[in-house]
Amino acid sequence: MTKFSLKKKLLPSLMAASLASGVAFSGNANAIHLAEDGIGQALLAPMYLANYGYKTKIAIVNHSTEKAVKAKVVLRSAVTSTELLDFILYLSPGDVWRGEIRQQDLDKDGTTETVLYSADDSIKNDKVPAGSGVAVNADGTTFGSILPVTQKIFIQNVGNGDTEKMGHIEIIGLYAVDGDINVPASNAVPISQGMSKFALAKIFDTPRVTGLEPINTPTETTSPTTSKIRSADPSWIHLSGTIEMMSANDRMGYRIPALVGADGDNIPSPLPAGLPTSTAPFDGKVIANTAFDANAAAGVAETALGFGWGVLGTDKIIEVEMALASTMLTGTYEDDTHTTPTAGINRTRIMITFPTRYRHGEGSDVNGTIVPNNPCGVTGLVGADHFSSPFKTGGSIEYALSAYNNFEIGSAVSGSIFSGGPVDGLNQLVEVNYFIPSWPATKKQNDNLTLVVGTHNFESGWFKMLFDVREGCPYAGAPVLSFIHKHKEKALAQFTESWLVSASHN
């Protein structure tokens, strides 16, 4: 097996899922895990695409027909997980939000830009023309169903070599509400299917310190069992989502992997030695902070994955990563593009995303000195080593990829990088990767039917990708999400008959 360097972000699993979320795991069913039915409190979409003629359609569903959910959506770039756009979803009971990430010429100057588009009533539009006469919220906004949203994705913070045309998406169920909710300067707002989104906005736009909190908040007035607003109850927030990437000739999609939790788990206590004091207890909940909330506005701190999710705002990134960590990806392939003398059109490629790597990347101390963010508590990181375990120097993760044909004959595999190119002279992958393996060649006679004597047929088989990580985290491997892209390619970058198959995570 040949080793390569796999760079930047992460996210798979040792815990649970296969058919629905698309990942196969083993582990504790009561701890945080990837939901087998794809329904959970945090959704992690490993890839969107707004390039090469594709646009991405997103659908997010609130499965509760009794509770409204406030959710935050964050779009992140492909290479360094730079936050590109965030916004709030106002999901009434049984609601669905739909949107698109696509290229559009907003200024009518012949130059396209990456935008989020939505004509849905679950998202606000803050660009209401003066004198338009449309109904507005207290903050002057309206909803996408009244005035469709066409929001340019912000690229001013995207670094060289990064792109906003491909990336990944986080959808976080912040909290849910039920019953009749009293809000300032308003009568009680009843929560029900088909309710007014203007009424729902009065609740979700009000700061959470409203006397509606469960026990242990500053304005406690009710017990956790009777509170009408909850973040920390796993039974209250049930979200699912789908991604559909479409071009003029092709269509592919997947169900978004979902993190789900439960009240309590059997992970041993205390925490593994060496973890930072900011680490949350392992309680099996996706979000255990009873007052958790977030907004989407200029100057508001970034909503990072796991940050502030624990009791009293502690960090749950380690418990999340333990649910996602994997040492090996496996799956099947069918690829005859390296067959000689006549190459075929069947291709298999691998999508790999590391959505938590940015939680381990470089930061700065109070003196401005660059230091690694260090969720695993690793010591001795110095010099140019600005990333902490499981990532190596420069944020890389090494991998070894092997392919086996249908007769158990194996071969090491190399690959080119579709989503970023070589970095620092190494064949490194970025945080969101579209990996193109150079599958073993198959040599046939001139009739293109009979194998050359002494060779083997590698037009189909299975593969395994092993991760080599820096030790120091209390889990094995690396957090990673992945899908196998199988398709036909009749011309360069002209895909047809695409389908995405979830790789198995071990």
Does 142 share its domain with 244?
A: yes
CA-CA distance, 58 to 20, in Å (whole number)? 17
The domain of 439 spans 325-505
Identify whether 210 is part of a domain.
yes
- Among the listed residues 432, 418, 436, the one whose alpha carbon sits nearest the alpha carbon of residue 349: 436
Does 75 share its domain with 220?
A: yes
Does 237 share its domain with 338?
A: no
Does 49 share its domain with 178?
A: yes
Per-residue pLDDT of the chain (506 residues; tens, 9 = 90+): 444 444 433 333 333 333 333 343 334 445 899 999 999 999 999 999 999 999 999 999 999 999 999 999 999 999 889 999 999 999 999 999 999 999 999 888 889 999 999 999 999 999 999 888 999 999 999 999 999 999 999 998 888 888 999 999 999 999 999 998 887 766 789 999 999 999 999 999 988 754 444 443 333 344 445 678 899 999 999 999 999 999 999 999 999 999 999 886 555 566 778 888 888 888 899 999 988 999 876 666 788 999 999 988 899 999 999 999 999 999 999 999 999 999 999 999 999 999 999 999 876 666 666 677 889 987 766 656 678 899 887 788 888 899 999 999 999 887 665 443 334 434 455 788 888 898 999 999 988 889 999 999 999 999 999 988 888 999 999 999 999 999 998 777 688 999 999 999 99
Identify whether 306 is part of a domain.
no
Which of 227, 256, 285 represents a domain boundary (last residue)?
Answer: 256
Identify whether 396 is part of a domain.
yes
Beta strands 251-255; 189-190: pairing state: unpaired
pLDDT at 207: 80
The CB density around residue 488, as the number of other CB atoms within 10 Å, is 14
Does 497 share its domain with 383?
A: yes
Helix intervals (H) in 269-350: 317-324
Which of 256, 272, 306 represents a domain boundary (last residue)?
Answer: 256
Residue 242, both tokens: 């789908």
Does 347 share its domain with 432?
A: yes
Domain count, the chain: 2
Does 494 share its domain with 400?
A: yes
Does 246 share its domain with 352?
A: no
CA-CA distance, 346 to 410, in Å (whole number)? 20
Does 250 share its domain with 331?
A: no
Cα–Cα–Cα angle for 169, 68, 279, nearest 5°? 55
Residue 154, both tokens: 């912000």
Identify whether 64 is part of a domain.
yes
Amino acid letter for position 436: I
Identify whether 412 is part of a domain.
yes
With tokens 């990430």, the residue in question is: 101
Tens-digit pLDDT profile for residues 241-296: 999 999 999 999 999 999 999 886 555 566 778 888 888 888 899 999 988 999 87
CA-CA distance, 36 to 192, in Å (whole number)? 28
Does 51 share its domain with 189?
A: yes
pLDDT at 18: 34
Identify whether 116 is part of a domain.
yes
pLDDT at 297: 67
Does 194 share its domain with 336?
A: no
Which of 256, 291, 312 represents a domain boundary (last residue)?
Answer: 256
User: Torsion angle, CA of 407/410/414/416, rounded to 10 degrees?
Assistant: 10
pLDDT at 299: 63
With tokens 């490194």, the residue in question is: 428
**For residue 486, how far is the Cα from the chain centroid?**
21
Identify whether 4 is part of a domain.
no
Identify whether 241 is part of a domain.
yes
Does 379 share its domain with 251?
A: no
pLDDT at 25: 36
The residues that bridge with 240 in the sheet, in sequence order, are: 61
pLDDT at 425: 39
- pTM of the entire structure? 0.89
CA-CA distance, 453 to 24, in Å (whole number)? 39
